[in-house]
């Protein structure tokens, strides 16, 4: 896909092959962001796993201490008291069969889907619609739960899901360009710590194979896996 003039100008302003310390890489992302909107800062990590093997699929959630800077839209499949609790917690869409019918009709106006366990037979019928979009509720990510109010609050407050794609990459938004650099770094560190914690026992060799950060419209900045902390000098 063709890149714009601003992107072309940005890649001339730094060494694309250089491995940056995490904090300086984040500062560089902020400097290179020139779009007229508040760009999202994204972290991409290539993991040394084979996602085709079930025991090497890395998936879960992580709470970003600085939040995401975006309004996370949450849909909750629940009935009765759980549905009311979800509404009070700020869920954007709440329902059961009626909400399922809306989704089947093409309504995907949400970023996270949460369900109570008793609603999974209903939600299960939406697998072909929700699965490819990464929206299918799953107990491993805390999106199948009896405490929907807590889950809504957590996702609204900065909890995000992560999972390896078919190439072993994990993509996670870690804030906005308008954030102060330390706030972005705090989110960066939280994600890296979580990925390290989630390392499969069967994964062999180098685990953090490649790390990069970028803004929505900006180029990727390579991060040195040996310089993830601000006080780590270049080797």
- CATH code of the domain covering residue 121: 3.40.50.790
Four-CA torsion 18, 50, 155, 136, nearest 10 degrees: 140
Contacts 24+ apart (CB under 8 A), 136-139: 137/77, 137/113, 138/59
Q: Is the pLDDT at 9 greater than 80, yes or no?
A: no
Does a structural domain hold residue 230? no
Identify whether residues 106 and 131 lie together within a single domain: yes
> What is the value of pTM for the model shown?
0.80
Does a structural domain hold residue 95? yes
* pLDDT one-digit tens code per residue, 35-79: 899 999 999 999 999 988 989 999 899 999 999 998 999 999 999
- Give the count of domains, the chain: 2
Task: Please provide the average confidence, as pLDDT, over all residues in the chain.
Answer: 91
What are the structure tokens assigned to 203, written together?
A: 């994964």
Identify whether residues 85 and 148 lie together within a single domain: yes
Identify whether residues 63 and 171 lie together within a single domain: yes
pLDDT score for 8: 60
Domain span at 40? 5-67+160-223
The CATH number given to whatever domain includes residue 214 is: 3.30.190.20
Mean local confidence (pLDDT), 207-212: 96
Does a structural domain hold residue 206? yes
For residue 55, the tally of other CB atoms under 10 A from its CB is: 10
CA atoms within 13 A on the CB side of 129: 17
Does a structural domain hold residue 231? no
Q: Which residues are 161's β-sheet partners?
A: 61
Measure Cα distances from 233 to 30, 152, 196, 215, 228 in Å.
Answer: 21, 40, 21, 25, 10
Give the length of the chain.
Answer: 235
Place of tokens 């499949």: 77
* 3 state SS of 222: strand
* pLDDT one-digit tens code per residue, 144-190: 999 999 999 999 999 998 999 999 999 999 999 999 999 999 999 99
* Phi/psi at 186 (5° precision): -60, -40
Does a structural domain hold residue 214? yes
Query: Residue 153: enclosing H or E segment and its boundaries?
Result: helix 148-156
Q: Which of 133, 156, 179 is the last residue of a domain?
A: 156
Q: Which residues are 185's β-sheet partners?
A: none
* 3 state SS of 92: coil
Q: Which of 156, 175, 205 is the last residue of a domain?
A: 156
Distance from C-alpha of 77 to C-alpha of 144, rounded to nearest angstrom: 9
Does a structural domain hold residue 104? yes
Q: Which of 105, 140, 156 is the last residue of a domain?
A: 156
Does a structural domain hold residue 103? yes
Does a structural domain hold residue 233? no
């Amino acid at each position: 896909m063709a890149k714009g003039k601003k992107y072309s100008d940005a890649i001339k302003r730094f060494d694309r092959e250089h491995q940056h310390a995490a904090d300086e890489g984040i500062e560089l992302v902020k400097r290179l962001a020139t779009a007229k909107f508040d760009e999202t800062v994204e972290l991409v990590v290539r993991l040394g796993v084979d996602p085709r093997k079930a025991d090497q699929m890395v998936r879960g959630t992580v709470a970003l201490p600085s939040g995401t800077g975006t309004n996370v839209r949450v849909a909750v499949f629940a009935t009765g008291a759980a549905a009311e609790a979800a509404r009070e917690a700020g869920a954007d869409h709440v329902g059961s069969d009626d909400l399922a019918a809306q989704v089947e009709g093409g309504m995907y106006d949400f970023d996270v889907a949460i369900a109570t366990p008793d609603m999974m037979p209903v939600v299960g019928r939406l697998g072909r619609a929700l699965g490819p979009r990464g929206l299918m509720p799953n107990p491993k990510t805390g999106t199948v739960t009896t405490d929907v109010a807590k889950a809504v609050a957590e996702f609204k407050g900065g909890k995000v899901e992560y999972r390896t794609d078919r190439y072993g990459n994990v993509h996670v938004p870690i804030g906005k360009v308008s954030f102060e650099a330390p706030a972005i770094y705090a989110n960066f560190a939280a994600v890296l710590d979580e990925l390290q914690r989630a390392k499969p026992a069967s994964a062999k060799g180098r685990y953090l194979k490649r790390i990069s950060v970028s803004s929505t419209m900006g180029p990727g900045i390579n991060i040195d896996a040996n310089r993830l902390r601000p006080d780590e000098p270049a080797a």
